[in-house]
Structure 1
């Protein structure tokens, strides 16, 4: 793909790419901007090439996710395995001001698939492509994520009603 076409795609999808970058960075605006800048450089310099095997949006989201993942590795922000996959029933009360904070409490893959499907309108198949995992794993993370998010919301509501 030629540079003018790439620039046009970047301009058209910038808004959505920014929000996906922000979500990949734990809603840190400055880090999201840095990552998005690196993504655009990769694309314009030819380091990240569109192979036309998927839709442009899916490819762009994959590049953003991969770049954010690289960034996290450099910053040593690894998720510990003991964090588990589910929200404990008797955990401390949930104190969160927004849905963004509740979503950030989910394990990484659950959070990613819910954000891709609910906020970016991708199908589970496209989300699986972006996340570079199988459709079965994507469905599992999607179902667990919805269940865990519901638990968090109910826990938050119970805490607010108890005040």
Structure 2
């Protein structure tokens, strides 16, 4: 890591900790871990400021993504721990849906796929990226190589069209919107 980068990071440390604290929902120990991991990324040159944005914006983005990674890791560990405890305590239940639930899920999935197929290509693509791939609209726009405004418009129009299609095709979806 260059000395200039280290100096900028040092100057931003109080603000960075406040941002990490916000990203971690006020949990001080998690915020400390997240900030430490972000610093490790910077020190090992796994993240490098390219100059496309201000240094502070870039650094806060690194912290936000690191917090998100840590949250996902924590959630994954908790789910594994829960499964392990359930096995030892004998409380394990079959996570698979019953036959009736499976039929319902299959019908809903089929309706959703049919509705998505009726959308224009860009609307369907942005909806898929946001809902199935868990991307933000901004990330979807970057991936699709379109402007953020265009992606937002495709997203909003796609949601409205899906809502209409699903309400007219199924009373089950009409109550869920």
Flag the structure with larger Rg.
Answer: 2
The normalised TM-score by structure 1 is 0.47
Give the helix-richer structure, 1 or 2.
2
